[in-house]
Amino acid sequence: MNADARELAAGFDIEKLTPEFYDDPYPTYRALREHEPVKRLPNGSYFLTRYDDLVRAYKSTKVFSSDKKREFAPKYGNSLLYEHHTTSLVFNDPPAHTRVRRLIMGALSPRAIAGMEPDLVALVDRLLDGLAAKRDVELIEDFASAIPVQVIGNLLDVPVEEREPLRDWSLAILGALEPVIGSEVFARGNDAVKDFLAYLEILVERRRAKPGNPERDVLTRLIQGEDNGERLTARELLHNCIFLLNAGHETTTNLIGNGLVALSGSAAQKQRLIENPATIKTAIEEILRFESSNQLGNRMTTEPVELGGIKLVAGTPVTLCIGAANRDPLQFADPENLDVARTPNRHLAFGTGAHQCAGMALARLEGAIAISRFLGRFPDYALSAPPVRGGRVRFRGFLSVPCAVG
Ligand code: HEM
Protein backbone atom coordinates (compact mmCIF):
# COMPACT_ATOMS: atom_id res chain seq x y z
CA MET A 1 0.00 0.00 0.00
CA ASN A 2 2.76 2.39 1.03
CA ALA A 3 4.80 1.66 -2.09
CA ASP A 4 1.66 2.16 -4.21
CA ALA A 5 0.95 5.49 -2.54
CA ARG A 6 4.55 6.60 -3.09
CA GLU A 7 4.24 5.66 -6.73
CA LEU A 8 0.90 7.44 -7.06
CA ALA A 9 2.44 10.61 -5.65
CA ALA A 10 5.58 10.30 -7.81
CA GLY A 11 3.54 9.88 -11.02
CA PHE A 12 1.05 12.68 -10.37
CA ASP A 13 0.77 15.21 -13.18
CA ILE A 14 -2.15 17.65 -13.30
CA GLU A 15 -1.84 17.73 -17.08
CA LYS A 16 -2.29 13.95 -17.39
CA LEU A 17 -5.20 12.91 -15.23
CA THR A 18 -6.91 9.52 -15.51
CA PRO A 19 -10.64 8.67 -15.47
CA GLU A 20 -10.06 7.00 -12.07
CA PHE A 21 -8.72 10.27 -10.74
CA TYR A 22 -11.73 12.27 -11.93
CA ASP A 23 -13.96 9.68 -10.32
CA ASP A 24 -12.15 9.73 -6.98
CA PRO A 25 -9.14 12.04 -6.57
CA TYR A 26 -8.84 11.49 -2.83
CA PRO A 27 -6.47 8.46 -2.79
CA THR A 28 -4.09 10.50 -4.95
CA TYR A 29 -4.46 13.54 -2.72
CA ARG A 30 -3.74 11.40 0.33
CA ALA A 31 -0.64 9.93 -1.31
CA LEU A 32 0.60 13.43 -2.19
CA ARG A 33 -0.05 14.76 1.32
CA GLU A 34 1.86 11.84 2.83
CA HIS A 35 4.76 11.57 0.42
CA GLU A 36 5.18 14.78 -1.60
CA PRO A 37 3.09 17.54 0.00
CA VAL A 38 5.01 20.19 -1.94
CA LYS A 39 5.06 18.43 -5.28
CA ARG A 40 7.00 19.72 -8.25
CA LEU A 41 5.05 18.99 -11.45
CA PRO A 42 6.67 18.38 -14.84
CA ASN A 43 5.59 21.88 -16.02
CA GLY A 44 7.66 23.47 -13.24
CA SER A 45 4.71 24.51 -11.05
CA TYR A 46 4.13 23.20 -7.51
CA PHE A 47 1.08 21.42 -6.11
CA LEU A 48 0.31 21.85 -2.38
CA THR A 49 -1.88 19.40 -0.46
CA ARG A 50 -1.27 20.05 3.26
CA TYR A 51 -3.77 22.16 5.20
CA ASP A 52 -1.12 24.29 6.95
CA ASP A 53 0.72 25.03 3.70
CA LEU A 54 -2.52 26.21 2.06
CA VAL A 55 -3.37 28.48 4.98
CA ARG A 56 0.10 29.99 4.80
CA ALA A 57 -0.16 30.63 1.05
CA TYR A 58 -3.69 32.04 1.29
CA LYS A 59 -2.69 34.38 4.11
CA SER A 60 0.63 35.62 2.67
CA THR A 61 -0.87 37.68 -0.12
CA LYS A 62 2.37 39.56 -0.80
CA VAL A 63 4.45 36.43 -1.35
CA PHE A 64 1.67 34.41 -3.02
CA SER A 65 0.15 36.72 -5.61
CA SER A 66 -3.28 36.24 -7.20
CA ASP A 67 -2.45 38.36 -10.26
CA LYS A 68 -2.67 36.05 -13.28
CA LYS A 69 -1.53 38.32 -16.12
CA ARG A 70 1.75 36.51 -16.61
CA GLU A 71 0.35 33.03 -16.18
CA PHE A 72 -2.68 33.48 -18.45
CA ALA A 73 -0.86 35.23 -21.32
CA PRO A 74 0.40 32.02 -22.97
CA LYS A 75 -2.83 30.15 -22.18
CA TYR A 76 -5.31 32.69 -23.60
CA GLY A 77 -3.21 34.99 -25.81
CA ASN A 78 -4.64 38.40 -26.60
CA SER A 79 -8.29 37.37 -26.22
CA LEU A 80 -11.48 38.41 -24.47
CA LEU A 81 -11.04 35.41 -22.19
CA TYR A 82 -7.66 36.86 -21.14
CA GLU A 83 -9.17 40.29 -20.62
CA HIS A 84 -12.00 38.80 -18.57
CA HIS A 85 -9.98 36.63 -16.21
CA THR A 86 -7.24 39.20 -15.65
CA THR A 87 -9.78 41.93 -14.82
CA SER A 88 -11.79 39.83 -12.32
CA LEU A 89 -11.16 40.71 -8.69
CA VAL A 90 -10.25 37.15 -7.78
CA PHE A 91 -7.25 37.23 -10.12
CA ASN A 92 -5.89 40.59 -8.95
CA ASP A 93 -3.86 41.91 -6.03
CA PRO A 94 -4.49 45.16 -4.17
CA PRO A 95 -5.33 47.91 -5.01
CA ALA A 96 -7.48 46.70 -7.98
CA HIS A 97 -8.75 43.82 -5.85
CA THR A 98 -9.57 45.91 -2.79
CA ARG A 99 -11.68 48.45 -4.64
CA VAL A 100 -13.97 45.91 -6.29
CA ARG A 101 -14.20 43.70 -3.23
CA ARG A 102 -15.35 46.56 -1.02
CA LEU A 103 -18.15 47.39 -3.45
CA ILE A 104 -19.32 43.79 -3.74
CA MET A 105 -19.14 43.05 0.00
CA GLY A 106 -21.38 46.04 0.72
CA ALA A 107 -24.23 44.37 -1.16
CA LEU A 108 -23.62 40.99 0.49
CA SER A 109 -23.98 42.17 4.09
CA PRO A 110 -25.67 39.78 6.57
CA ARG A 111 -28.75 42.04 6.49
CA ALA A 112 -28.94 41.94 2.69
CA ILE A 113 -28.59 38.16 2.72
CA ALA A 114 -31.20 37.66 5.43
CA GLY A 115 -33.54 39.72 3.24
CA MET A 116 -33.14 37.18 0.42
CA GLU A 117 -34.38 34.25 2.52
CA PRO A 118 -38.15 34.49 1.91
CA ASP A 119 -37.70 34.56 -1.90
CA LEU A 120 -35.24 31.69 -1.69
CA VAL A 121 -37.64 29.53 0.36
CA ALA A 122 -40.43 30.25 -2.13
CA LEU A 123 -38.18 29.36 -5.08
CA VAL A 124 -37.03 26.09 -3.51
CA ASP A 125 -40.60 25.10 -2.60
CA ARG A 126 -41.75 25.80 -6.15
CA LEU A 127 -38.99 23.55 -7.49
CA LEU A 128 -39.87 20.84 -4.98
CA ASP A 129 -43.50 20.96 -6.16
CA GLY A 130 -42.20 20.39 -9.67
CA LEU A 131 -40.13 17.40 -8.53
CA ALA A 132 -43.10 15.90 -6.66
CA ALA A 133 -45.19 16.11 -9.82
CA LYS A 134 -42.52 14.29 -11.85
CA ARG A 135 -41.30 11.67 -9.32
CA ASP A 136 -38.43 10.55 -11.59
CA VAL A 137 -36.24 13.60 -11.63
CA GLU A 138 -32.86 14.94 -12.67
CA LEU A 139 -31.44 16.42 -9.48
CA ILE A 140 -28.98 18.81 -11.13
CA GLU A 141 -31.10 20.09 -14.00
CA ASP A 142 -34.43 20.15 -12.16
CA PHE A 143 -33.21 21.31 -8.77
CA ALA A 144 -29.56 22.08 -7.88
CA SER A 145 -28.70 24.25 -10.87
CA ALA A 146 -32.06 26.03 -10.93
CA ILE A 147 -31.45 27.69 -7.56
CA PRO A 148 -28.18 29.67 -7.94
CA VAL A 149 -29.09 31.04 -11.36
CA GLN A 150 -32.14 32.75 -9.88
CA VAL A 151 -30.35 33.90 -6.73
CA ILE A 152 -27.48 35.54 -8.61
CA GLY A 153 -29.94 36.85 -11.19
CA ASN A 154 -31.82 38.54 -8.32
CA LEU A 155 -28.58 39.91 -6.89
CA LEU A 156 -27.83 41.78 -10.10
CA ASP A 157 -31.51 42.23 -10.85
CA VAL A 158 -31.34 40.54 -14.25
CA PRO A 159 -34.90 40.34 -15.62
CA VAL A 160 -36.22 36.78 -15.12
CA GLU A 161 -36.92 36.22 -18.81
CA GLU A 162 -33.29 37.09 -19.67
CA ARG A 163 -31.61 34.59 -17.32
CA GLU A 164 -31.67 31.50 -19.48
CA PRO A 165 -28.24 31.88 -21.17
CA LEU A 166 -26.43 32.77 -17.93
CA ARG A 167 -25.70 29.22 -16.86
CA ASP A 168 -24.20 28.10 -20.18
CA TRP A 169 -22.06 31.23 -20.42
CA SER A 170 -20.84 30.66 -16.93
CA LEU A 171 -20.04 26.96 -17.50
CA ALA A 172 -18.13 27.84 -20.68
CA ILE A 173 -16.06 30.60 -19.07
CA LEU A 174 -15.19 28.61 -15.96
CA GLY A 175 -14.50 25.49 -18.05
CA ALA A 176 -11.66 27.39 -19.69
CA LEU A 177 -9.96 27.60 -16.28
CA GLU A 178 -9.20 23.86 -16.27
CA PRO A 179 -5.43 23.23 -16.12
CA VAL A 180 -5.28 22.01 -19.73
CA ILE A 181 -7.78 23.11 -22.38
CA GLY A 182 -8.25 22.28 -26.06
CA SER A 183 -9.08 24.77 -28.81
CA GLU A 184 -12.82 24.01 -28.59
CA VAL A 185 -13.04 24.74 -24.87
CA PHE A 186 -11.06 27.93 -25.45
CA ALA A 187 -13.34 29.04 -28.29
CA ARG A 188 -16.47 28.28 -26.28
CA GLY A 189 -15.15 30.27 -23.30
CA ASN A 190 -14.13 33.18 -25.48
CA ASP A 191 -17.48 33.32 -27.30
CA ALA A 192 -19.27 33.21 -23.96
CA VAL A 193 -17.31 36.25 -22.73
CA LYS A 194 -18.19 38.08 -25.96
CA ASP A 195 -21.92 37.32 -25.68
CA PHE A 196 -21.97 37.99 -21.96
CA LEU A 197 -20.29 41.41 -22.45
CA ALA A 198 -22.75 42.34 -25.18
CA TYR A 199 -25.66 41.45 -22.92
CA LEU A 200 -24.27 43.27 -19.89
CA GLU A 201 -23.58 46.44 -21.86
CA ILE A 202 -27.30 46.69 -22.51
CA LEU A 203 -28.19 45.82 -18.91
CA VAL A 204 -25.77 48.43 -17.54
CA GLU A 205 -27.15 51.11 -19.86
CA ARG A 206 -30.67 50.34 -18.68
CA ARG A 207 -29.59 50.44 -15.05
CA ARG A 208 -27.72 53.72 -15.48
CA ALA A 209 -30.91 55.21 -16.89
CA LYS A 210 -33.02 53.71 -14.09
CA PRO A 211 -30.90 52.89 -11.00
CA GLY A 212 -32.06 50.23 -8.53
CA ASN A 213 -31.69 50.14 -4.75
CA PRO A 214 -27.92 49.90 -4.05
CA GLU A 215 -28.62 48.14 -0.73
CA ARG A 216 -29.93 45.14 -2.64
CA ASP A 217 -28.78 45.50 -6.22
CA VAL A 218 -25.07 44.84 -6.73
CA LEU A 219 -25.11 46.19 -10.26
CA THR A 220 -26.39 49.60 -9.16
CA ARG A 221 -23.82 49.55 -6.39
CA LEU A 222 -20.97 48.78 -8.79
CA ILE A 223 -22.16 51.48 -11.21
CA GLN A 224 -22.48 54.15 -8.55
CA GLY A 225 -19.14 53.32 -6.89
CA GLU A 226 -18.21 54.39 -3.40
CA ASP A 227 -19.14 57.52 -1.52
CA ASN A 228 -15.67 58.94 -2.03
CA GLY A 229 -16.20 58.84 -5.77
CA GLU A 230 -14.08 55.78 -6.52
CA ARG A 231 -15.61 54.09 -9.54
CA LEU A 232 -14.80 51.15 -11.72
CA THR A 233 -13.87 51.65 -15.35
CA ALA A 234 -16.45 50.43 -17.87
CA ARG A 235 -14.40 47.26 -18.53
CA GLU A 236 -13.83 46.57 -14.83
CA LEU A 237 -17.53 46.92 -14.20
CA LEU A 238 -18.58 44.49 -16.93
CA HIS A 239 -15.95 41.83 -16.22
CA ASN A 240 -16.60 41.84 -12.49
CA CYS A 241 -20.32 41.44 -13.08
CA ILE A 242 -19.53 38.43 -15.26
CA PHE A 243 -17.27 37.06 -12.54
CA LEU A 244 -19.92 37.51 -9.89
CA LEU A 245 -22.54 35.81 -12.02
CA ASN A 246 -20.13 32.93 -12.64
CA ALA A 247 -18.71 32.61 -9.13
CA GLY A 248 -22.00 31.70 -7.57
CA HIS A 249 -23.36 29.30 -10.21
CA GLU A 250 -21.46 26.10 -10.65
CA THR A 251 -19.99 26.17 -7.14
CA THR A 252 -23.38 26.39 -5.42
CA THR A 253 -25.02 23.95 -7.83
CA ASN A 254 -22.28 21.50 -6.88
CA LEU A 255 -22.69 22.14 -3.15
CA ILE A 256 -26.35 21.09 -3.42
CA GLY A 257 -25.71 18.21 -5.85
CA ASN A 258 -22.68 16.87 -3.99
CA GLY A 259 -24.57 17.09 -0.72
CA LEU A 260 -27.61 15.15 -1.89
CA VAL A 261 -25.43 12.48 -3.53
CA ALA A 262 -23.16 12.14 -0.47
CA LEU A 263 -26.16 11.82 1.86
CA SER A 264 -27.83 9.26 -0.38
CA GLY A 265 -24.69 7.14 -0.01
CA SER A 266 -24.66 7.37 3.77
CA ALA A 267 -27.99 6.26 5.21
CA ALA A 268 -26.95 6.82 8.83
CA GLN A 269 -25.80 10.41 8.24
CA LYS A 270 -28.91 11.16 6.21
CA GLN A 271 -31.15 9.80 8.98
CA ARG A 272 -29.26 11.80 11.60
CA LEU A 273 -29.88 14.98 9.65
CA ILE A 274 -33.54 14.19 9.07
CA GLU A 275 -34.07 13.47 12.77
CA ASN A 276 -32.14 16.61 13.84
CA PRO A 277 -32.96 19.32 11.30
CA ALA A 278 -30.98 21.86 13.35
CA THR A 279 -27.84 19.97 12.29
CA ILE A 280 -28.19 21.45 8.80
CA LYS A 281 -25.62 24.17 9.54
CA THR A 282 -22.83 21.76 10.46
CA ALA A 283 -23.99 19.41 7.68
CA ILE A 284 -23.46 22.12 5.05
CA GLU A 285 -19.97 22.82 6.38
CA GLU A 286 -19.23 19.11 6.24
CA ILE A 287 -20.43 18.76 2.66
CA LEU A 288 -18.25 21.74 1.74
CA ARG A 289 -15.29 20.02 3.38
CA PHE A 290 -15.96 16.48 2.20
CA GLU A 291 -16.63 17.22 -1.49
CA SER A 292 -15.41 20.79 -1.96
CA SER A 293 -17.05 22.17 -5.07
CA ASN A 294 -14.02 24.34 -5.82
CA GLN A 295 -11.07 21.99 -5.46
CA LEU A 296 -8.15 24.09 -6.65
CA GLY A 297 -6.80 27.60 -6.15
CA ASN A 298 -3.78 29.21 -7.78
CA ARG A 299 -1.08 31.65 -6.75
CA MET A 300 2.30 32.83 -8.06
CA THR A 301 5.29 33.45 -5.78
CA THR A 302 6.67 37.00 -5.89
CA GLU A 303 9.87 36.26 -3.97
CA PRO A 304 11.86 33.17 -2.90
CA VAL A 305 10.02 31.19 -0.25
CA GLU A 306 10.50 27.86 1.56
CA LEU A 307 7.61 25.43 2.03
CA GLY A 308 7.96 22.02 3.66
CA GLY A 309 11.75 22.23 3.30
CA ILE A 310 11.51 22.97 -0.44
CA LYS A 311 12.72 26.28 -1.86
CA LEU A 312 10.53 27.93 -4.46
CA VAL A 313 12.02 30.73 -6.54
CA ALA A 314 10.15 33.96 -7.33
CA GLY A 315 7.72 33.56 -10.22
CA THR A 316 6.73 29.95 -9.42
CA PRO A 317 3.08 29.04 -10.14
CA VAL A 318 1.55 27.18 -7.20
CA THR A 319 -1.72 25.19 -7.09
CA LEU A 320 -3.47 25.08 -3.73
CA CYS A 321 -5.40 21.82 -3.51
CA ILE A 322 -8.43 22.58 -1.35
CA GLY A 323 -9.81 19.07 -1.88
CA ALA A 324 -6.67 17.55 -0.33
CA ALA A 325 -6.26 20.08 2.50
CA ASN A 326 -9.87 19.49 3.54
CA ARG A 327 -9.02 15.86 4.22
CA ASP A 328 -5.76 16.47 6.05
CA PRO A 329 -5.80 14.23 9.17
CA LEU A 330 -3.63 16.74 11.04
CA GLN A 331 -6.58 19.12 10.90
CA PHE A 332 -9.65 16.83 10.71
CA ALA A 333 -10.32 13.67 12.73
CA ASP A 334 -11.39 10.74 10.54
CA PRO A 335 -11.25 12.98 7.45
CA GLU A 336 -12.39 10.42 4.84
CA ASN A 337 -15.77 10.05 6.54
CA LEU A 338 -18.81 12.28 6.29
CA ASP A 339 -19.94 13.48 9.72
CA VAL A 340 -22.88 15.88 9.51
CA ALA A 341 -22.31 17.09 13.08
CA ARG A 342 -18.55 17.68 12.75
CA THR A 343 -17.22 20.49 14.98
CA PRO A 344 -14.88 22.21 14.76
CA ASN A 345 -14.70 22.24 10.98
CA ARG A 346 -12.30 24.90 9.75
CA HIS A 347 -12.42 23.77 6.14
CA LEU A 348 -10.95 25.78 3.28
CA ALA A 349 -13.77 25.32 0.77
CA PHE A 350 -14.14 29.11 0.57
CA GLY A 351 -10.38 29.74 0.74
CA THR A 352 -9.18 32.09 3.48
CA GLY A 353 -7.43 35.47 3.78
CA ALA A 354 -7.94 38.54 1.59
CA HIS A 355 -9.71 36.68 -1.25
CA GLN A 356 -11.94 34.49 0.90
CA CYS A 357 -15.19 33.88 -0.94
CA ALA A 358 -17.29 37.03 -0.93
CA GLY A 359 -20.48 35.00 -1.42
CA MET A 360 -20.00 32.37 1.27
CA ALA A 361 -22.87 33.49 3.50
CA LEU A 362 -25.17 33.38 0.50
CA ALA A 363 -23.87 29.97 -0.63
CA ARG A 364 -24.40 28.60 2.88
CA LEU A 365 -27.95 29.91 2.97
CA GLU A 366 -28.75 28.47 -0.46
CA GLY A 367 -27.26 25.08 0.51
CA ALA A 368 -29.06 24.94 3.85
CA ILE A 369 -32.48 25.87 2.49
CA ALA A 370 -32.19 23.63 -0.57
CA ILE A 371 -30.98 20.52 1.24
CA SER A 372 -33.09 20.80 4.40
CA ARG A 373 -36.31 21.43 2.49
CA PHE A 374 -35.52 18.66 0.01
CA LEU A 375 -34.97 16.17 2.87
CA GLY A 376 -38.12 17.33 4.65
CA ARG A 377 -40.16 16.70 1.52
CA PHE A 378 -38.45 13.58 0.14
CA PRO A 379 -36.79 11.73 3.06
CA ASP A 380 -36.78 8.48 1.06
CA TYR A 381 -35.24 9.80 -2.16
CA ALA A 382 -32.92 7.36 -3.90
CA LEU A 383 -30.61 7.61 -6.89
CA SER A 384 -32.12 5.69 -9.79
CA ALA A 385 -28.90 5.35 -11.86
CA PRO A 386 -25.22 6.11 -11.26
CA PRO A 387 -24.66 9.87 -11.22
CA VAL A 388 -22.49 11.34 -13.98
CA ARG A 389 -19.51 13.46 -12.93
CA GLY A 390 -18.70 16.80 -14.55
CA GLY A 391 -15.23 15.62 -15.61
CA ARG A 392 -13.44 18.64 -14.20
CA VAL A 393 -10.65 18.78 -11.70
CA ARG A 394 -11.16 22.37 -10.51
CA PHE A 395 -14.94 22.38 -10.07
CA ARG A 396 -16.10 19.08 -8.59
CA GLY A 397 -19.70 18.12 -9.10
CA PHE A 398 -22.18 16.16 -11.18
CA LEU A 399 -23.58 16.79 -14.62
CA SER A 400 -26.55 14.60 -13.99
CA VAL A 401 -28.05 12.75 -11.02
CA PRO A 402 -31.13 10.65 -11.91
CA CYS A 403 -33.24 10.23 -8.81
CA ALA A 404 -36.60 8.87 -7.66
CA VAL A 405 -38.39 11.08 -5.15
CA GLY A 406 -41.78 9.42 -4.98
C1 HEM B 1 -20.44 26.59 -2.51
C2 HEM B 1 -20.32 27.70 -3.16
C3 HEM B 1 -19.03 28.45 -3.33
C4 HEM B 1 -17.73 28.02 -3.19
C5 HEM B 1 -17.24 26.64 -2.83
C6 HEM B 1 -16.89 29.17 -3.45
C7 HEM B 1 -15.51 29.14 -3.38
C8 HEM B 1 -14.69 30.25 -3.50
C9 HEM B 1 -13.27 30.26 -3.28
C10 HEM B 1 -12.42 29.05 -2.90
C11 HEM B 1 -12.83 31.53 -3.47
C12 HEM B 1 -11.41 32.04 -3.25
C13 HEM B 1 -10.58 32.09 -4.49
C14 HEM B 1 -9.12 32.39 -4.20
O15 HEM B 1 -8.75 32.88 -3.13
O16 HEM B 1 -8.31 32.09 -5.08
C17 HEM B 1 -13.98 32.33 -3.84
C18 HEM B 1 -13.94 33.66 -4.16
C19 HEM B 1 -15.05 34.40 -4.51
N20 HEM B 1 -16.36 33.98 -4.51
FE21 HEM B 1 -17.04 32.17 -4.04
N22 HEM B 1 -17.68 30.25 -3.76
C23 HEM B 1 -18.99 29.87 -3.68
C24 HEM B 1 -20.11 30.65 -3.89
C25 HEM B 1 -20.08 31.98 -4.22
C26 HEM B 1 -21.25 32.82 -4.42
C27 HEM B 1 -22.70 32.36 -4.25
C28 HEM B 1 -20.79 34.06 -4.77
C29 HEM B 1 -21.54 35.33 -5.10
C30 HEM B 1 -22.68 35.67 -4.71
C31 HEM B 1 -19.34 34.00 -4.75
C32 HEM B 1 -18.51 35.07 -5.01
C33 HEM B 1 -17.15 35.05 -4.89
C34 HEM B 1 -16.31 36.22 -5.12
C35 HEM B 1 -16.78 37.61 -5.55
C36 HEM B 1 -14.99 35.80 -4.90
C37 HEM B 1 -13.72 36.63 -5.07
C38 HEM B 1 -13.32 37.21 -3.75
C39 HEM B 1 -12.01 37.96 -3.83
O40 HEM B 1 -11.19 37.74 -4.72
O41 HEM B 1 -11.82 38.80 -2.93
N42 HEM B 1 -18.95 32.73 -4.41
N43 HEM B 1 -15.11 31.53 -3.83
pLDDT-based confidence at residue 11 (cuts at 50, 70, 90): very high
pLDDT tens-digit readout, 41-91? 999 999 999 999 999 999 999 999 999 999 999 999 999 999 999 999 999
Q: Which ligand 1 atom sits nearest the alpha carbon of residue 364?
A: 1
At 47 the three-state DSSP class reads strand
Protein residue with its CA nearest to atom 43 in ligand 1: 357
Report the mean per-residue pLDDT for the chain: 94
Query: What value does the mean pLDDT take over residues 350-361?
Result: 97
Q: 250 CA to middle of ligand 1, Å?
A: 11
Answer yes or no: is pLDDT of 1 > 80: no
Ligand 1 centroid–CA 270 distance in Å is: 27
Q: Is the CB–ligand 1 distance for residue 405 below 6 Å?
A: no
pLDDT of residue 110 exceeding 70: yes
pLDDT band (50, 70, 90) for residue 229: low
**Ligand 1 pocket residue status of 358, Cβ below 6 Å:** yes
Atom of ligand 1 nearest to the CA of 155: 30
Note the pLDDT tens digit of each residue in 358-367: 999 999 999 9
Neighbouring C-alpha atoms within 13 Å toward the C-beta of 66: 25
Looking at per-residue pLDDT, the higher value among 112 and 272 belongs to 272
Q: For 116-170, write each residue's pLDDT tens digit.
A: 999 999 999 999 999 999 989 999 999 999 999 999 999 889 999 999 999 899 9
214 vs 79, which has greater pLDDT? 79
Cα of 152 vs centre of ligand 1, distance in Å, is 13
Ligand 1 geometric centre to CA of 362 (Å): 10
pLDDT of amino acid 376: 97
Position 213 scores a pLDDT of 87
Distance CA 260, CA 253 (A): 11
Cα 95 to chain centroid distance, Å, stands at 24
**pLDDT for the residue numbered 389:** 94
Q: Does ligand 1 have an atom closer than 6 angstroms to the CB of 100?
A: no
Residue 197 Cα to ligand 1 midpoint, Å, equals 21
In Å, how far from its chain's centre is CA 200? 22
pLDDT for position 304: 98
Helix (H) and strand (E) counts for the chain? Answer: 18, 12
Number of the ligand 1 atom closest to the C-alpha atom of 292 = 5
For residue 111, the model assigns a pLDDT of: 82
Ligand 1 near 363 CB (within 6 A): yes
pLDDT class of 391 with cuts at 50, 70, 90: confident
Q: Provide mean pLDDT across the span 235-257.
A: 92
Q: What is the pLDDT of residue 159?
A: 94
b/e string for 120-149 if b means 16 or more Cβ within 10 A?
A: beebbeebbeebeeeeebbbbebbbbbbbb
Q: Which residue has the least CA distance to atom 21 on ligand 1?
A: 357
Q: What is the mean pLDDT of residues 326-333?
A: 98
Q: Do the bridges between strand 310-312 and strand 305-307 make them parallel or antiparallel, or are there none, so unpaired?
A: antiparallel
Residue nearest to atom 35 of ligand 1 (CA): 358
8 A C-beta contact, residue 241 and residue 156: yes
Closest ligand 1 atom number to CA of residue 249 = 27
Contact 252, 147 (CB under 8 A): yes
pLDDT score recorded for residue 226: 65
Q: Is the CB of 355 under 6 A from ligand 1?
A: yes
